[in-house]
Amino acid sequence: MSESHGPEYFRYLNVRSPLRRYLRKLFLLPIVLAFSGRVLDIGTGIGEFLELYPDAIGIDKNPDCVASCLKKGLKCIEGSAYHLPFDDGFFDGVHLNNILEHLERPEDALAEIWRVLKRGGSLIIEVPGEKGFRHDKTHIRFWGKASLISFLEESGFAAIRVNYFPVPFAVAGSLLIHNKLRVYAKSTGSL
């Protein structure tokens, strides 16, 4: 992952307004409702998803974020998307929210996700639209609808559904910083 997510990233997450935190949790609700069973939240940040989904474990490379989650009583460990310290098929679902665009080796991370995800398990990914991608200099790769679907299919995922959120049109991603591409996929049999 990009090395830009040090202490300044933790501070950025914590200075968001109460309204923005509320909206963030509201926007996470459809994701929470789409999962069942044990879920891994990669790049958990300050644990907003973990607060909404009690059967989740967070992993983040930022020690300040991990410490904050643990202080709140949330299940979280320090680690990397490239080396997930879990058994094969351990999770029913995996969540990546604003992470994939930061990865230098997304194929390695997805191979690890594939490994820890049960067959038939759910993967939900959110990536920024074009304007959001350009807004953050730490982003490495832009993922559009076609490139993300192709990447997932080549990695053994199927039943892929895509929507734009919160404004449900592709063009909104080129106009609004916080409009995202949200992808729902299922792991299939062996590659």
Residues contacting residue 5 through CB under 8 Å, at least 6 positions apart? 61, 62, 102, 138
Q: What is the distance between the alpha carbons of residues 88 and 2, in angstroms, rounded to a whole number?
A: 26
Name 162's bridge partners.
183
Fold of 7-187: Rossmann fold (3.40.50)
148-174 residue pLDDT tens: 999 999 999 998 999 999 999 899 999
- Domain extent listing, the chain: 7-187
User: For residues 9, 13, 14 and 18, what is the CA-based torsion angle, rounded to 10 degrees?
Assistant: 160
Which parts of the chain are beta strand (E)? 39-42, 56-60, 76-78, 91-97, 117-128, 157-165, 180-187
pLDDT by residue (tens digit) across 60-69? 999 999 999 9
Q: What pLDDT, on a 0 to 100 scale, did the predictor assign at position 3?
A: 39
The pLDDT score that the predictor gives to residue 23 is: 79
Q: What is the pLDDT of residue 159?
A: 86
Q: Look up the pTM and report it.
A: 0.89
Backbone angles phi, psi at 129, to 5 degrees: -75, 180
Residues in Cβ contact with 24 at an 8 Å cutoff, skipping those fewer than 6 apart: 16, 48
